[in-house]
């Protein structure tokens, strides 16, 4: 798996994992890193993580990051996080940006609870189950997310797509975005046509 992650990204990943473990923050790495390890490798220039942490503990978590070479990359990271639920950090030595989303939905909590350990370049890194990452990618819906879905489906023919589809349907209904489910169904149909 190490060949899928550049050295600078591995250095930043080590800092992130060590920081969140030391701070006892339930979390997992998501985004491009997770998609590259679990699906089709692709270039990614940052690290995304999902963390479950009450707002009252955010300041302490930020303070605990600096010994791991990770610092805020905006002037008032707490204010930004309160508005967006995203903590914008940077690993100083590598220059890699780290975005930590503070999960609040029951889906996010459950996804972190059932995340799995993976070896990446000698590190033990918590990644989502393939099904949970598929749901996250279907919700995000950017072109690279749709490509990631195709890569994940190709790499994991055993994935429970019925479960994923049901969760995507629930999000599509809750957000009144029926095209979210239609988009996912198109990717499933494309996979079946190739098979």
Q: How confident is the model at residue 3 (pLDDT cuts 50, 70, 90)?
A: very low
> Does one domain contain both 162 and 194?
yes
Q: What is the largest CA-CA distance in the chain?
A: 51
> Does one domain contain both 35 and 9?
yes
Domain's final residue, options 112, 128, 144: 128
Domain's final residue, options 98, 128, 158: 128
* Total Cβ atoms within 10 A of residue 111: 23
> Does one domain contain both 77 and 108?
yes
> Does one domain contain both 98 and 178?
no
Three-state secondary structure readout of the chain: CHHHCCHHHHHHHHHHHHHHHHCCCCEEEEHHHHHHHHCCCCCCCEEEEEECCCHHHHHHHHHCCHHHCEEECCCCHHHHHHHHCEEEEEECCCCEEEEEEECCCHHHHHHHHCCEEEEECCEEEEECCHHHHHHHHHHHCCHHHHHHHHHHHHHCCCCCHHHHHHHHHHHHHHCCCHHHHHHHHHHHHHHHHHC
CATH number of the domain residue 13 falls in: 3.30.460.40
Range of the domain at 74: 1-128
Prediction pTM value = 0.94
Q: What local confidence, expressed as pLDDT, does residue 107 receive? A: 96
Q: In degrees rounded to 5, what are phi and psi of residue 192?
A: -65, -35
> Does one domain contain both 114 and 166?
no
CA distance linking residue 161 with residue 38, whole number of Å: 15
> Does one domain contain both 11 and 103?
yes
Domain count, the chain: 2
Distance, CA of 190 to chain centre: 24
Region 164-171: mean pLDDT is 96
Domain's final residue, options 128, 147, 181: 128
> Does one domain contain both 10 and 33?
yes
> Does one domain contain both 148 and 110?
no
> Does one domain contain both 43 and 101?
yes
pLDDT at residue 5 is higher than 90: no
> Does one domain contain both 86 and 105?
yes
pLDDT at residue 2 is higher than 50: no
> Does one domain contain both 70 and 89?
yes
CA distance linking residue 46 with residue 113, whole number of Å: 23
pLDDT at residue 71 is higher than 70: yes
């Amino acid at each position: 798996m190490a060949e899928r992650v550049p050295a600078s990204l591995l250095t930043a990943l080590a800092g992130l994992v060590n920081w969140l473990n030391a701070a006892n923050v339930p979390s997992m790495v998501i985004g491009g890193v997770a998609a590259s390890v679990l699906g089709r490798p692709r270039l990614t220039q940052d690290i995304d993580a999902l963390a479950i942490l009450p707002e009252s503990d955010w300041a302490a978590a930020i303070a605990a990051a600096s010994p791991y070479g990770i610092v805020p990359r905006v002037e008032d990271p707490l204010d930004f996080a309160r508005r967006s639920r995203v903590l914008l950090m940077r690993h100083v030595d590598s220059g890699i940006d780290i975005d930590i989303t503070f999960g609040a939905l029951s889906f996010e909590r459950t996804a972190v609870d059932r995340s799995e350990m993976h070896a990446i370049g000698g590190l033990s890194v918590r990644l989502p189950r393939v099904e949970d990452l598929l749901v996250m990618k279907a919700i995000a819906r950017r072109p690279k997310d749709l490509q990631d879905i195709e890569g994940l489906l190709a790499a994991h023919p055993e994935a429970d797509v019925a479960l994923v589809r049901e969760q995507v349907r629930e999000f599509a209904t809750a957000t009144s975005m029926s095209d979210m489910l239609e988009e996912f169904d198109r990717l499933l149909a494309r996979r079946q046509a190739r098979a």
